[in-house]
Amino acid sequence: MAKVPSPHPEGTTTPAAAHPGPPRQVEHSAASRRPASAVPSIKGIRISPPGFKATLVDISASGLLAEWGVALRVGQAVTVNFEGTFSPQSVGAQVVRSAVASMTPGGLRYHVGLAFAAPIALEDKPPPPETGAEDGPAPAAVADPPPPDDLVNRW
């Protein structure tokens, strides 16, 4: 079989246009995430700009995932203000992900991933792992299903 020379010199790659499709989002955080319910000292969050309240989905020492009704630009610098007894009360962050999470009668809801400018200490203890019978695997935890919506995205 004859060897066909590559049209690209060694060390180069094909242009991005040769690989159609959106870029994949890759998880970069090595910090373990905690759901909002595991950090009871955070009663709410406010992200500014624009200064609206958001719902905390999960948090780690290096960032958080929030849901709200405003799309943010990836790379945008923001300040996260924590409501409750959580310390620090505010922290600088950068938007690393912004994607539509759901459609509601009130409009679109977005999941916004924020990377903190510097790692923070999470004071609340994560829930202890459940211990089951040692002779068999523990059953997997099942999350509560989301509340039903009138609109269902079938894409």
pLDDT of 149 > 60? The answer is no
Give residues with Cβ within 8 angstroms of 94, minimum separation 6.
Answer: 75, 76, 77, 78, 114, 115, 117
For domain 31-116, the CATH class is mainly beta
pLDDT of 20 > 70? The answer is no
pLDDT of 7 > 60? The answer is no
Model pTM above 0.85: no
pLDDT of 73 > 80? The answer is yes
